[in-house]
Structure 1
Amino acid sequence: MLFTPIKPMLLHMGNNEEINDNPEWIYDIKWDGWRILLHKQGERIEAFTRHGNNVTAKFPELQEVGRSIQSHTAIIDCEGVVLRNGVSVFDDFAFRGRLSNTSKIQQATLTHPATFIAFDVLGTNKPHTNKPLVERKEILLSIIEPSNSLLITPSVTGNGNNIFQLTKDKGMEGIVGKRSNSTYKTNHRSHNWLKYKHFKVIDTVILGYKENPFTMLVGKQLSNGKCKPLANVEFGFKPEEKTAFREIAKQIVTKVERDMTWLEPRLCCKVQYLEKTNTGSLRIVSFKGFNFDKVPEAIN
């Protein structure tokens, strides 16, 4: 298992209205970056993504990470992030992940310093995956000396609603709830691990659409009258909404390019999204209904 790709345990999406304050649940802050598995033995340390890619060379910070892990041998599950005022910024860590030039990587350790936030341990000198989460958390605390490059995520037992509100107030992604007795099952998505995210809803104008799969391109109208695309929306449509939309769209088609049908920017809809990128695009977007009372000029 050591220094070989591991598919980590994954979460299901939880219902924000059903966050459990039961003391049998442990809640962590959900950080927005890349899922990373750290492998350490002696002075050797390597980092793998959830898809099995070895990204060690991209993060010189891992040398400090290795010194922060007090155990000779360890496999630690964490989130790789770039923190800005205590909040993880997905785009900044993704920027780090795209770099391959050595000098640019070294420069980015100053402008986009990576931090690895640990939340679980799969093993040290022996496997821990069959131990309950509460015990694995204790092991994690005992083997990590926090540093600028390696932290342990804050956890609370019960009180899920309190930490959910706290992360919302701070503009964070959300929280993760896990049963305190849950074991760690690699390559498995478990209902014992649930993620709760803070989504936002905004009005947008529909700029065009594609079929196969059905996708709407939504955006906003700028002050100069032009439209800026914000997101491709694939999810959240009811069959009857697609049918009604196609009938309306026939009347406002401007041109068809390959698989894209462009429309006059007259029809508005609401979309739900998790966050905006640095360029203003929307991440993790779903359709939340048409807004026939809205006019494009009123969207900002």
Structure 2
Amino acid sequence: MDFKPILPFEPVSTNEWPAGTHFTSQIKWDGVRMLLYFDGSTTKLINRRANDRTLQYPELTNPQAFCSAKSVILDGEIIALSDGKPSFYEIMKRDSARKSSTVTRAMQQVSITYMVFDILYLNGDWLLHLSLKERQNRLASIIKPNHLVQPVTNHDDMKALFAIVEQHELEGIVIKDLTSSYVINGKDKRWLKKKIFKDLYAVVSGVTYRGNIVNSLLLGLYDDQGQLWYIGHAGTGKLTVKDWQHVTDLVQSMTTQERPFINQPERSKEAVWITPQLVVKVSFMEWTNNKTLRHPSIQSFMKMDVSLCNFNQN
């Protein structure tokens, strides 16, 4: 088998529920997307960006322990749990290891599970043209589940699954067309992802520029003592080019030499500090262990009472 990396099929974000009985739903596991290649003697683990991660996950380099195939390409998500839930920050401890000694230590600290949801190649034959349902049947016939590898389960009621995922504060769900073929380096609405986001009001006390236009906002919240804490930066969301130009014009009169945040923002060297007058509504996935927002997205901005921007809103 040629080990030339494959770029996987990706889901499209949605806020809608697709219609039809040919869709199934699965939990969206908060880990790292990983393709496993096995040619009968050699195993490779390649991530969604075609980077080799075989060193980082040696537990998965013996597919005979969990798979009966003579040769195979599997698609799935490697996860690590924290308090019984998938934790992106735990799995990053494994994925970011770059030396054998570091990997050994990380293995002792972080256990992993490979959540397998697709099969692309089996015993010399490509399965890309088959429907998802047919591929899932092939996958079920060769996977031997254990503590290290588990097949991802289908759920017919996508709304009920989403409610359960939301209740347990997981990442979201993936909705898939059971008739869909697998498109290498593809992305279309036959696979959908519906993520769970939270929102809050944050005060802007720094900006970064690309050229002469503001391209990112440094966000903060006040604690009970009135101290402003940096909680992350955001440069994506619903703001238009015209909105960014308006923000650029607006902050010209707000600049200050002193850093308003009590802690050190990660973009301090690039930042221009501003007085805390501008408030934005931000959606985000979760709080990180470092007390910053994961995947913050700007929804709207306004000049308003910054007393809204405190940790108590969470």
Is TM > 0.5 for Structure 1 vs Structure 2?
yes
Residues 65 and 149 in structure 1, CA contact (< 8 A), matched pair in contact too: no
Aligned equivalent of 1:229? 230
Aligned equivalent of 2:104? 106
What CA RMSD, in Å, does the superposition of the two structures yield over aligned residues? 2.2
- Sequence identity of aligned pairs in percent? 27
Q: Distance in 2 between matches of 1:130 and 1:284?
A: 34
Matched, 1:285 2:296: yes
Q: What are the superposed Cα offsets for residues 173-222 of structure 1, whole Å, 9 maximum, x if unpaired?
A: 00111111100010111221111000110111101112326111112224
Structure 1 residue identity aligned to 2:71: T
Matched, 1:155 2:157: no
Residues 265 and 296 in structure 1, CA contact (< 8 A), matched pair in contact too: no
1:255 corresponds, among 254, 257, 267, to: 257
Aligned equivalent of 1:138? 137
Distance 1:218 1:76, change over 3 A: same
Matched, 1:202 2:200: yes
Q: Which runs of 5+ in 2 are unaligned?
A: 259-267
1:183 counterpart SS class: coil
Q: What are the superposed Cα offsets for residues 106-139 of structure 1, whole Å, 9 maximum, x if unpaired?
A: 2322321121110100011111100000111111
Structure 2 residue identity aligned to 1:228: W
Q: Which runs of 5+ in 1 are unaligned?
A: none
Aligned equivalent of 2:216? 215
Residues 215 and 232 in structure 1, CA contact (< 8 A), matched pair in contact too: yes
Structure 1 residue identity aligned to 2:128: T
1:72 corresponds, among 66, 70, 85, to: 70
Is the deviation greater in 197-206 or in 239-248? 239-248
Distance 1:217 1:66, change over 3 A: farther
Q: Distance in 2 between matches of 1:294 and 1:193?
A: 42
2:275 corresponds, among 247, 256, 264, to: 264
Q: Distance in 2 between matches of 1:285 and 1:7?
A: 26
Residues 20 and 160 in structure 1, CA contact (< 8 A), matched pair in contact too: no
How far apart are 1:148 and its partner, in Å? 1.4
Q: Distance in 1 between matches of 2:42 and 2:35?
A: 14
Is the deviation greater in 189-198 or in 54-63? 54-63
Q: Distance in 2 between matches of 1:151 and 1:265?
A: 48
How far apart are 1:100 and its partner, in Å? 2.3
Residues 271 and 288 in structure 1, CA contact (< 8 A), matched pair in contact too: yes
How far apart are 1:19 and its partner, in Å? 1.5
Q: Distance in 1 between matches of 2:285 and 2:194?
A: 11
1:41 corresponds, among 15, 26, 39, to: 39
Residues 253 and 262 in structure 1, CA contact (< 8 A), matched pair in contact too: yes
How far apart are 1:238 and its partner, in Å? 2.9
How far apart are 1:102 and its partner, in Å? 2.2
Residues 64 and 149 in structure 1, CA contact (< 8 A), matched pair in contact too: no
Structure 1 residue identity aligned to 2:22: E
How far apart are 1:284 and its partner, in Å? 1.5
2:164 counterpart SS class: helix
Q: Distance in 1 between matches of 2:33 and 2:248?
A: 39
Distance 1:141 1:128, change over 3 A: same
Structure 1 residue identity aligned to 2:87: V
How far apart are 1:141 and its partner, in Å? 1.0
Aligned equivalent of 2:285? 274
Structure 1 residue identity aligned to 2:146: S
Q: Distance in 1 between matches of 2:255 and 2:308?
A: 19
How far apart are 1:84 and its partner, in Å? 2.6
| Aligned pairs, number | 297
Residues 217 and 231 in structure 1, CA contact (< 8 A), matched pair in contact too: yes
Q: What are the superposed Cα offsets for residues 1-50 of structure 1, whole Å, 9 maximum, x if unpaired?
A: 543211111121112xx223632101111111111000123353220111
Residues 131 and 181 in structure 2, CA contact (< 8 A), matched pair in contact too: yes
Is the deviation greater in 165-174 or in 92-101? 92-101
1:60 corresponds, among 44, 58, 61, to: 58
Matched, 1:169 2:167: yes
Q: Distance in 1 between matches of 2:116 and 2:84?
A: 15
Distance 1:109 1:21, change over 3 A: farther
Residues 60 and 106 in structure 1, CA contact (< 8 A), matched pair in contact too: no
Aligned equivalent of 1:11? 11
Q: Distance in 2 between matches of 1:83 and 1:264?
A: 40
Residues 284 and 295 in structure 2, CA contact (< 8 A), matched pair in contact too: yes
